[in-house]
Amino acid sequence: KIDFTSMARTAFSGCRLLLALVQPITNLHATHALSLGSFLNVGKCTYGRPPCATCGRTPCTSHLAVMRASGEEGSTTGPRPEEWREFRQRLISQGLPLTTFADGDGEEAAEKAGAGRELEDRKSVAPANEQLLAQQNAKLFEEYLNGVWAHPSPLEAGGLACRLPLQAQLTEQMRQLTRNDDEEFYVSRQDAWAVRLRKMLLRELPTSAEANSGGNGTTKLERTWTENTAYCFRLADRLLIECLEGVAARARDGRIDARSLKPHESELIELYQKAQHEWQQVVLVLSTDGNKAEGVALNRPLSRGVDKQLAQLLLSGELPPDEAVAASNDFMDAFGREGAVYVGGPAQQREGGLLVHGFGQLEGAIEVSPGTRLYRGGALAAIRAVNLGELSPLDFRWFVGKQTGISTAEAEWSAVACARSLALKQCLGLPKPLWHEVLELCGGDLAVWSQIELLKRTDIE
């Protein structure tokens, strides 16, 4: 069983394993056993490389990726990181096509099929957002239109972290408890909210199913109900409301004595406050350390336009104080009227600004993670490019502060890999919030969470 979602993190060993599985079935040369043309660069070979020594074909970039991974083209010329990101995305969204290449048209047919499927599968989850992007940034709109994607992934630099609603968080914790049959946790933490939610679910099962469950064992019916995302969300919502209303009933003159709260009630209030504070945040992950990450919130706009004081604060993230002051006038010429500034998070807000963009040619720009084509830094070069009319102010996103301590371990956050156009586009007056756009592009449970949350709102058509 191959974990395709994380295959890009073990690219070479994962590819060798795929080849080992496919080769015996197809009895073909390894470099042509997989129709990777429909995953990477669809089209005929244009690289003019020497023909394959085994089968005589001229390899395209798709085949070169497999050749490099299998060691046929040398260990120092492996596939580029962006190729593996694209491969992973197509593998998750389209599956793994196998072709026999019995004749010369086999590969071309597979590539055409892959290209047609990609166009057919493209879904527009936020048409009004697309129209706004077309007005703000024509080039990025074209990139978005031709290749936007998002899917769940490991927590990784260059990806996104989306804050889940508290109801979704408790649901995922309950599912983890049910799937793992964690009896020790179930017995020792009877007051844990995941356990409480599971007990509530068991009470709603038919009596015979509840009796057959016993202890921490799970019935087939329980597992079926647990996987019903909409039902579990509403069940968790009822559980939270019951507890919060019980706490509110003990208030005197609008105040609650914290000493009167039971441990599980204190825990819930803390979870609730944190979920409200981070409500529907979409964070661009800049770095990871073990199972923790930090980044900047993409959907917390601070201002459209910059004054001189804010300009100096933003520049101080890259420049010494005296240089930041000296460059502030040029900054105002470039971004004073149209600069887009966001609150990246509550941490490190006094440590200056951070610039994020998609232009690796700018002096001082550093790629967030290889293959993402997302860059940070290069403030002075960005100022020069805007003042010379080479780039637009809305090609750049400025951030103050960071979001730290991001983790998926407790299901507070869901990690997502995405096309860079989704991370680079501005979040200024979006008709449909970015959080909903990202989750619906991912599909599955994430799209269900989004749809349920949308039903609660009256300000979005």
**DSSP string covering 199-241:** HHHHHHS-HHHHHHH-TT---HHHHHHHT-HHHHHHHHHHHHH
The pLDDT of residue 259 is 84
d(CA 355, CA 365): 9
The helix/strand/coil state of 49 is: coil
Q: Which contiguous run of DSSP H or E holds residue 167?
A: helix 166-180
Give the torsion sign (CA, 225, 230, 231, 236): positive
d(CA 314, CA 335): 11
The pLDDT of residue 54 is 46
d(CA 402, CA 37): 39
The pLDDT of residue 458 is 78
Written in H, E and C, the secondary structure of 329-349 is HHHHHHHCCCCEEEECCCECC
**Among 116, 450, 132, 139, which Cα is nearest to 282's?**
450
| Full pLDDT tens readout for the chain, 461 residues | 344 444 444 443 344 444 333 333 333 333 333 334 333 333 334 334 455 554 454 444 444 444 444 444 444 456 677 676 777 777 776 666 655 544 445 445 555 555 444 445 567 899 999 999 999 999 999 999 998 999 999 999 999 999 999 999 999 999 988 777 655 555 445 558 999 999 999 898 887 644 455 444 457 888 889 999 999 999 999 999 999 998 888 888 888 888 888 888 899 999 999 999 999 999 999 999 988 999 999 999 999 999 999 999 999 999 999 999 999 999 999 999 999 999 999 999 999 999 999 999 999 999 999 999 999 999 999 999 999 999 999 999 999 999 999 999 999 999 999 999 999 999 999 999 999 999 999 999 999 999 999 998 877 76
Cβ–Cβ under 8 Å, residues 132 and 429 = yes
How would you label 159-198 residue by residue, b for 16+ Cβ within 10 Å and e otherwise? bbbbbbbbbbbbbbbbbebbeeebeebbeeeeebbbbbbb
d(CA 52, CA 456): 58
Which stretches within 308-443 are classed as H helix? 308-315, 321-335, 379-387, 420-424, 434-442
From first CA to last CA, the distance across the chain in angstroms is 43
The pLDDT of residue 155 is 94
**Among 89, 176, 156, 169, which Cα is nearest to 415's?**
156
Could you identify the residue written with the tokens 């990690």? Answer: 415
The helix/strand/coil state of 265 is: helix
d(CA 133, CA 153): 26
d(CA 9, CA 24): 25
The pLDDT of residue 112 is 52
d(CA 406, CA 426): 22
Could you identify the residue written with the tokens 């019980």? Answer: 246
Q: Cα–chain-centroid distance for residue 214?
A: 38
**Among 271, 287, 283, which Cα is nearest to 412's?**
271
To the nearest 10 degrees (0 to 180), the angle between helices 127-136 and 138-147 is 140
Phi, psi for residue 316 in degrees, rounded to 5: -70, -10
The pLDDT of residue 281 is 97
Close Cβ partners of 146 (under 8 Å, ≥ 6 residues apart): none
CA 134 to each of CA 126, 141, 279, 304, 340: distance values in angstroms, whole numbers, following the listed order: 13, 5, 27, 18, 17
Tally of helices (H runs) and strands (E runs) in the chain: 20, 12
Close Cβ partners of 371 (under 8 Å, ≥ 6 residues apart): 80, 81, 82, 83, 84, 85, 158
Cβ–Cβ under 8 Å, residues 353 and 315 = yes
The pLDDT of residue 79 is 63
The pLDDT of residue 298 is 97
